[in-house]
Structure 1
């Protein structure tokens, strides 16, 4: 192992000794200085995870979270200088972390929180003007073949757990007041839509049919195919309501014929 690799390995593993041949020009003990530096680096990464996953931290408590995050830092040091990208796979780590098995919905709550981080940092895009949307919707002969490009911040999560309700129970927003974790049926699955509208990242609980519809649109399926897929999942699905949600949040950024490349 070369010197740089040895230094990096020791930096993220507190059980490793100080790398050999370190020198402090002021005569200070290299091992002591390295220990301080290592602690600062690891603490900053753990703090970054705590900032990105505040509900996860609330669900398991600060001590448990920081111990879990410290192990993640040790196993998965950053590969990018962009700190907001760090922890993108933390949910998968949680899902395979045996001590967290007692909170089975924890990994999906982490996935929801990661979608919020991603949405916050996603590129911006202007919504299609309402007049253009109205014109397109008034042409039934071509409406079904229309493709809708959705906002870059849009993300979906299908979970066997009520992830939106669990997340909402830990928010101070007045819109979610009265949601009590003790009153949530933890066996009830939920689909979540995450979307940045103007400067605010919003989270919606949506029906399975709506989730299927938006997923199909997000993968460039024409409108009639997306609607058919959604109706197969939920016979009560109403395309107009799903479209109203997307239009109201400025989530449709481009219209194009299905044949357009």
Structure 2
């Protein structure tokens, strides 16, 4: 193991010994300074995770979150200098923790936090003119395939993740306990999570996968509100192309 490899290996593990031969600027053993630097790195990464996961902090508290974050960062250190992407694997890590298994929805709620950041940093796009859909005849509309903004992200869960997210951070209505689909949309600069109505998740997933409009809306079922879904997507500039 090279000194550089040993230096990196010990940064996130306080039990790891100071690399042999490591000295400070005065050619003295760098034990204490290395310890300070190691602590600073851990704190910085932990704080970066805390910034990216406000819902988790709200749901389990900052002290518990810090324990989870430290365990995660030691297992999964950053692989990119672009820190806005760090923590994408935290929801999967949370799902493996026995001490949090009594809160089975946590991982999916944390995925909203990840998706919010991904949406924020996604490429810009321009939504279609809403009158375009109105100008199509029925046959053309039913055969049309839609293109969507890169910032649009659909999340599907067996838990009330949208309601839990809003309730924990914004004081929304108390979660019902029913499964929810959430779509992250970014009309301008800031993304927003929207809870989809009955059947809308199935329809939107199909449309996003390239299914023609007519086939996709058949998946919504009797209680699906097509007007509500289209109004949401158009008002948030999420539909960027219509191939007819």
Query: TM-score normalized by structure 1?
Result: 0.88
The DSSP-based 3-state class of the residue aligned with 1:74 is helix
Superimposed CA distance per residue, residues 58-116 of structure 1 (whole angstroms, 9 cap, x where no aligned partner): 21111111011000000001111110111101100000011111222111110111111
For 1:33 and 1:190, locate their aligned partners in 2 and report how far apart those are by CA, in whole Å. 49
Mean Cα deviation higher: 124-133 or 152-161: 124-133
Superimposed CA distance per residue, residues 4-25 of structure 1 (whole angstroms, 9 cap, x where no aligned partner): 2221111111110111111212
Post-superposition offset of 1:39: 1.0
For 2:20 and 2:55, locate their aligned partners in 1 and report how far apart those are by CA, in whole Å. 41
1:248 to 1:99, Cα distance in 2 relative to 1, 3 A: same
1:188 paired residue among 178, 194, 209: 178
Map of 1:45 onto structure 2? 45
1:144 to 1:157, Cα distance in 2 relative to 1, 3 A: same
For 2:186 and 2:175, locate their aligned partners in 1 and report how far apart those are by CA, in whole Å. 26
Instruction: Map 1:52-201 to 2 at 5 A.
Output: 52-136=52-136, 139-172=137-170, 177=171, 179=173, 183-185=174-176, 187-201=177-191
For 2:134 and 2:14, locate their aligned partners in 1 and report how far apart those are by CA, in whole Å. 61
C-alpha contact (below 8 Å) 2:46/2:73 kept by paired residues: yes
C-alpha contact (below 8 Å) 2:21/2:29 kept by paired residues: no
For 2:172 and 2:230, locate their aligned partners in 1 and report how far apart those are by CA, in whole Å. 29
Post-superposition offset of 1:28: 5.3
RMSD over aligned Cα atoms: 1.6
Map of 1:243 onto structure 2? 230
Post-superposition offset of 1:55: 1.2
Q: Which runs of 5+ in 2 are unaligned?
A: none
Q: Which runs of 5+ in 1 are unaligned?
A: none
The DSSP-based 3-state class of the residue aligned with 2:37 is helix
